[in-house]
């Protein structure tokens, strides 16, 4: 499992990464339920979060791993253990703390 954070600070746990033959990527966020449905970030024509029926995509999988150390994060997301990501989060927090609304 690896923690991923988006530009607005939402953090999610990614447990698996899947690539289909059409090169769409799935960042799986939970284990399948009793019907084989998982929550995932899907990177295809757009980047969306939603439910995915694993039986539907299974025949098209060309890559599947739970070893996420060499996987790039989804677009507009970063890994929380990435030093660049931590620096960016720190810079964002500092900018928010220093922000003074116009009066």
pLDDT tens sequence across 40-89: 999 999 999 999 999 999 999 999 999 999 999 999 999 998 655 445 55
Question: Would the pTM count as exceeding 0.75?
Answer: yes
The answer to whether position 23 is within a domain reads: yes
The answer to whether position 34 is within a domain reads: yes
Q: Which residue segment(s) compose the domain that 38 sits in? A: 2-98
HSE at residue 16, side-chain half, CA atoms within 13 A, is 14
Closest to 30 (Cα-Cα) out of 50, 17, 15: 15
The answer to whether position 61 is within a domain reads: yes
The answer to whether position 103 is within a domain reads: no
Among 27-31, 33-37, 39-43, 92-96, the range scoring the smallest mean pLDDT is 92-96
Q: How many domains does the chain have?
A: 1
* 72 in Cβ contact with 85 (< 8 Å): no
User: Quick one: pLDDT band at residue 101, thresholds 50, 70, 90?
Assistant: very low
The answer to whether position 26 is within a domain reads: yes
Cβ partners under 8 Å of residue 61, min gap 6: 18, 19, 20, 21
**Average pLDDT along the chain:** 87
């Amino acid at each position: 499992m690896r923690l991923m954070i988006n530009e607005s600070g939402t953090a999610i746990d990614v447990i698996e990464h899947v690539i289909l033959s059409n090169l769409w990527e799935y960042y799986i966020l939970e284990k399948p339920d009793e019907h084989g449905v998982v929550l995932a970030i899907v990177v295809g024509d757009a980047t969306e979060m939603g439910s995915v029926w694993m039986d539907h995509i299974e025949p098209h999988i060309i890559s599947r791993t739970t070893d996420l150390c060499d996987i790039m994060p989804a677009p507009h997301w970063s890994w929380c253990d990435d030093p660049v990501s931590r620096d960016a989060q720190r810079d964002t927090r500092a900018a928010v703390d220093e922000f003074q609304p116009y009066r």
